[in-house]
Amino acid sequence: MKKTPLLNQAISAVIAGMGHSDALVIADAGLPIPDSVQRIDLAVTEGVPAFGDVLKVVMGELQVERAILAEEIKTKSPDMHTAILHWLGDVPVHYVSHEQFKQTTSNAKAIVRTGEFTPYANIILIAGVVF
């Protein structure tokens, strides 16, 4: 059995296969997922699992170089925005419009869908390197 906190096989496999500058998306329950991108659907019901719970575990597994958020999160979900910045620590954040965010997800290795119902609770994590 794995010793690290991430137990989900599909997420673990995606992270293990990621290289420098590859993208992984953690999404709320409503983000559209392109047919061309692997969907890892964790959503069970409203709030389960929570976006933050998934993000925190993934951050413990993935070397993150930078993150991308939708600009709209600042005004539409300021509490979630503050929490995300806390969970990211010193990871640099880049902001784009929500429309551009959705377009960018088509280049991701996978999109992890949570049960989060907070508007704009979506993040693109860009992989770094550990050396």
Q: Which residues carry out catalysis?
A: 20
Q: Quote the DSSP letter at residue 62.
A: S
Q: Beta 38-41 vs 93-96: how paired, if at all?
A: unpaired
Nearest alpha carbon to residue 84 among 44, 124, 117 = 124
List C-alpha distances in Å: 32 to 1, 105, 113, 129: 33, 9, 10, 29
Tokens 């925005």 correspond to what residue?
Answer: 81
Helix axes 78-88, 51-61, angle to 10 degrees: 20
- According to DSSP, the β-strands at 110-113 and 38-41 are parallel
